[in-house]
Structures are given as C-alpha cells and as structure tokens.
C-alpha cells in the first residue's frame, strides 16, 4: 500500500475512500481531494479556506507557527535589511535575485516606463474632488488595458517581461496621480534622476519648480514597507488575482481585482484602521480603559493591529518594522501623543497574559501605519502604498498560474441551505 495516502471512512454506509498525500518542499503536506466529489458524491466544507490549498506555488512560504516568511526561498529579514525593493521585485518576477548589471537595467526600465500616457490624465479629470485614491487607482490600472490593448496577450518571456516592467513601473505614478487629483494638487511627473521609492515620495510631496528634500531614512523606511508587502502567499487579494487569471483574463483586469480586494478594511485598509483607533483613544491616560474593553467578551471593541490570521507567533514583518519605526522617529525627532499611545498599548500587550496566551502580538499594520504617518502620507493613501508593494507579487502569481500546462477556472462549490422546489400555488 502507498503510504502517501489518507483513508476516509463514511460512517453512514461504512464505505472507505483513499486519497493521495502531496508533500511540500517545506511545510504541511496536502491531501489531494480533486476527485472527492466524483468518488463520494459530496463536497468538502471549509469556510474561508482555512485548511484548503488552492494551488501549487513556488513563490512565497509562510510558517505561521514559527513566524517565518520567505520569498523564493529567501528569508524576509535578509531581503528587507540587505536588499532593496527593486531587488525583491526582480526576485519575485524572475525567480532569482539580480546581479549588479541586471539590477541597473531593471532600475532603468522602471525609470523609463514610469511615465503614463497623457490620455490617462483625461480619465482622472472625470473624478470628483476628494474621490478616494483607491477608486482612482483601480480605474487607472483598468484603463491601462485600453492604452495597451495590442499587448494583452502574453505568450512569450519577452512579452511577460515587458508587461511586468510596465505595470510595476506605472503603478507608483498612477498612485501619486490619484493622490494629487483627489486633493486638487498639480500633477508632478516622474524624475528620471531618482530611484523607484524616492521618485514616488517626490511625486507625492513636490510642487512645480520647487525642490523637495527627502531624507535617506524616509526613503529606506518606505522601501522596507514595499518589500515587506511584496507578497504573502494566497491572501484575499492574491486569490482574487489568481481567480481572474484562471478565466484567462489579462493582467490589468487581474491587478484591478486585487486592488479591489485589498481596499477592504480587514486587508489593505487595516493599518489605516489602526491609526484611526489610536486617534480615537487619543491619550495615554485612556489606554487602560480600551485594553479592558478589548478583554471584555461582551464588548464588541476590537484592538486593531494585534494578532494575525496566519501568524501564531510574532509577525516577522512587524519585528523589522518596529526597528525601522524607532530609527525613523529618532532621526526625524518625532514625538507625539499618538506614538506614546501606541507604545503604551504595545508595552501592555507584550507583557499581559491575556494577549500572550492568545498569540495577539503586534502585526505589520500596527507599525506600518505609524511609519506612513511619520512620512506625512495621508491615511487614505495607506492602502495605495500596499498596492505598490504588492504589485510584483500579484504579477508573479498571475504568471505562475498562466505557465501551468492546464488551467482550471476557479469554481468553488457550496453547501446549499435555501428552500427546495417551491412550487407556486395557483
């Protein structure tokens, strides 16, 4: 008998069924139940897909119990501390870290392709004042498919590379334009003399004919946030991208779907929620009051920025961002009541048995929101920042699925609980 199988017994009729076990490079094995319905005439039920592997992937690996995250086999701490976001983007898109020449060429590609067709600005003009930047960005990405309609079919490595470089390079420009338009500010074009992350900050902050000073620590902090957000296994937005890819949709439609999923408060909008909650608490004197509310089972209040769906240990990205936050606050000389509130909450959570026993450690959102605020980035742009960082991961996931020999359109089944055969009475 093959040992790499699992036997399931239906106690209703004592029938047994055998399914193969597929072994991972690292991490849990999975049971291949692709023939489950055919053999048993039943579906499996897994709300939120908490125990279901939806695909095979060689891009990102998470060990939630150990607090480990790897891109293409590289530990996230190594990439965040020793490499740049463009190194990481290249790694995700191409499978290997770039050498100096490859990185220089990739950086130049990002600079050259960062400009968008002037017609895109006409689209932005149609949006009302103070429209949310995520709405504008999503529309802008969808519009790219109209401007590059001759390049929607991706069949060769060269076509994939061109598409990937185009989208990764243009997303920050569209993001910056979204911010400028939503606030009635003049558009700032990319500067060919600036690097990827610096250029984005420049387009956010600058004004025509005005020099803007960007500190190295600010660029480093934002670049690190981009790196830490670059991919994260099969999360909600990545699943949305893959689901669209399974329909043979072009990458612009898939990325736009990812943006829509990321906009949710429980996903890309979580760090904005953290800041709004800190503002609501308002004072160190009120922290104990809200900690008590968080512990009260009868109180609907939930402390934002703590715990994670996957990580049952410290979020490795949060550990990195905590150091960056402290460095940023020190070098910029930032001191505020909001920071004091956050520090007090963190101090209590890391020493309180209630939080420790429930694995409610600070996650990436707890620190990233404070960093983005220190960088003078408005709260409504927080999810947009997430999009910029996540784009290379989305494209890598889209590409991985499209390289499969056979692609099945995503089509989950359901447990129907509605009425049956409601024959109308006449």
Report pLDDT for 128. 87
Tell how many helices (H) and how many strands (E) occur in the chain: 18, 6
Q: What is the largest CA-CA distance in the chain?
A: 79
The CATH code of the domain at 5-63 is 2.20.28.60
Instruction: Give 405's DSSP letter.
Output: S
Query: What residues act catalytically?
Result: 308, 365
Walk across the sheet containing 15-22 and list its strands: 5-10, 15-22, 30-31
Q: Measure the CA–CA gap between 266 and 281, rounded to whole angstroms.
A: 20
- CA–CA gap between residue 380 and residue 230 (Å, rounded): 20
The closest of 12, 264, 305, 256 to 136, measured between CA atoms, is: 256
The span from the CA of 199 to the CA of 388, in Å, is 13
Same fold, 5-63 and 77-426: no
> Could you state, in order of their start, the residue ranges of all structural domains in the chain?
5-63, 77-426
For 333-354, b/e burial (b = at least 16 CB within 10 A) is eeeeebbebbbbbbebbeeeee
Output the 3-class SS for 140-196.
HHHHHHHHCHHHCCCCCHHHHHHHHHHHHHHHHHHHHHHHHHHCCCCCCCCCCCCCH
Q: Residue ranges of the chain with pLDDT lower than 70?
A: 1-2, 335
Q: In angstroms, what is the C-alpha Rg of the chain?
A: 23
pLDDT at 293: 93
244-275 pLDDT per residue, tens: 999 999 999 999 999 999 998 888 888 888 88
Question: Which residues on neighbouring strands pair with residue 10, listed in sequence order?
Answer: 15
d(CA 254, CA 237) in angstroms, rounded, equals 10
Fold observed for domain 77-426? Citrate Synthase; domain 1 (1.10.580)
| pLDDT value of residue 337 | 83
- pLDDT at res. 76: 97
Give the three-state DSSP class for 94.
helix
pLDDT at 335: 67
Rounded CA separation 44/46 (Å): 7
């Amino acid at each position: 008998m093959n040992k790499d199988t699992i036997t399931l017994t239906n106690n209703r009729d004592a029938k047994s069924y055998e399914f193969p076990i597929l072994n991972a490079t690292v991490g849990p094995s999975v049971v291949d139940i692709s023939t489950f319905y055919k053999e048993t005439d039943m579906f499996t039920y897994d709300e939120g897909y908490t125990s279901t592997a939806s695909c095979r992937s060689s891009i990102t690996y998470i060990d939630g119990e150990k607090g480990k995250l790897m891109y293409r086999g590289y530990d996230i701490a190594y990439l965040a501390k020793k490499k740049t976001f463009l190194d990481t983007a290249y790694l995700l898109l191409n499978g290997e870290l770039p050498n100096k020449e490859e990185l220089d060429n990739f950086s130049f590609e990002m600079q050259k392709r960062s400009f968008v067709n002037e017609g895109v600005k006409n689209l932005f003009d149609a949006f009302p004042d103070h429209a949310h930047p995520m709405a504008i960005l999503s529309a802008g990405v969808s519009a790219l498919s109209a401007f590059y309609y001759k390049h929607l079919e991706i069949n060769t490595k060269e076509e994939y590379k061109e598409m990937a470089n185009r989208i990764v390079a243009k997303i920050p420009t569209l993001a910056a334009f979204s911010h400028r338009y939503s606030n009635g500010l003049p558009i700032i074009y990319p500067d060919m003399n600036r690097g990827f992350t610096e250029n984005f900050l420049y387009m956010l902050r600058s004004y025509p004919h005005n020099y803007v000073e960007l500190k190295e620590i600010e660029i480093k902090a934002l670049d690190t946030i981009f790196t830490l957000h670059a991919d994260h296994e099969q999360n909600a937005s990545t699943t949305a991208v893959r689901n669209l890819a399974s329909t043979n949709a072009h990458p612009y439609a898939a990325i736009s779907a990812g943006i829509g999923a990321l906009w949710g408060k429980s996903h890309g909008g979580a760090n904005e929620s953290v800041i709004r909650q800190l503002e609501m608490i308002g004072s160190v004197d009120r922290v104990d009051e809200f900690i008590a509310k968080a512990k009260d089972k009868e109180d609907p209040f939930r402390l934002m920025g703590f715990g994670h769906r996957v990580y049952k240990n410290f979020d490795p990205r949060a550990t990195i961002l905590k150091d960056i936050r402290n460095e940023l606050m020190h070098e910029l000389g930032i001191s505020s009541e909001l920071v004091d509130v956050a520090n007090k909450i963190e101090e209590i959570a890391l020493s309180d048995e209630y939080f420790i026993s429930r694995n409610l450690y600070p996650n990436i959102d707890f620190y990233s929101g404070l960093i983005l605020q220190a960088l003078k980035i408005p709260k409504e742009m927080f999810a947009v920042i997430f999009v910029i960082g996540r784009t290379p991961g989305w494209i890598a996931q889209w590409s991985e699925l499209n390289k499969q020999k056979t692609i099945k359109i995503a089509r989950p089944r359901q447990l129907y609980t509605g009425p049956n055969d409601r024959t109308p009475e006449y």
